[in-house]
A = this chain, B = another copy of it.
């Protein structure tokens, strides 16, 4: 699909929006538009979901995209499939080393309990649902997210470890919508494991025409 262009012939870019540290945001991205998610500080994991705006029960699904693209690691050039096995977005650009996770659930308060927290801890599951409510919508469930910039190497025999991101400040991905989408993002507040280098910070995004 051709990109929409402004009168100057250049791609139209929205203002720069912030996903605050440890919080979530959701945004509409219409078919043909794209979202540019910028890892401003380089070391922040962004749990990312995409729902069909027409029917929120259709959403980007890690377990449905893996069999279709034939890899655990989607990156530039891959279609991102929904739970109805059709492309909901296209992974159009990626300036990072292309290491993103599809294996780990969004963190939740139970997870932080297991990690020793006695009190409530910010978490991506609650951030997803808060972000959707903030724009008047309700996520029908908590799909397994595309964890952008999250570095979970797969070792011998399928062993999984939690490592620091390999991305650098300003790295970004561009995901283009194949359907009218609601994209939700959470700046992962994980500050116990090293996946955010121990510093949970904000990221930025733009909608591209």
Interface residues of A (CB under 8 A from B): 61-64, 66-68, 70-73, 83-86, 103-105, 108, 110-111, 113-114, 140-142, 144, 154, 157-162
Contacts and interface: CB of A to CB of B under 8 A. Distances in A.
Nearest to A68: B114
B159 A63 contact: no
A162 B67 CA distance: 9
Contacts of A105: 61, 63-64, 66-67, 83
Number of copies: 2
Nearest to A70: B160
Given A110-B86, A111-B85, A144-B144, A104 B70 contact: no
A61 B108 CA distance: 14
Contacts of A61: 105
Contacts of A144: 63, 144
B71 A85 contact: no
12 contacts: A63-B63, A64-B105, A66-B103, A67-B160, A67-B162, A71-B159, A73-B158, A83-B105, A85-B110, A85-B111, A86-B110, A154-B154
Contact of A85 (B114, B157, B158, B161): B114
A63 B62 contact: yes
Contacts of A113: 85
A160 B83 CA distance: 19
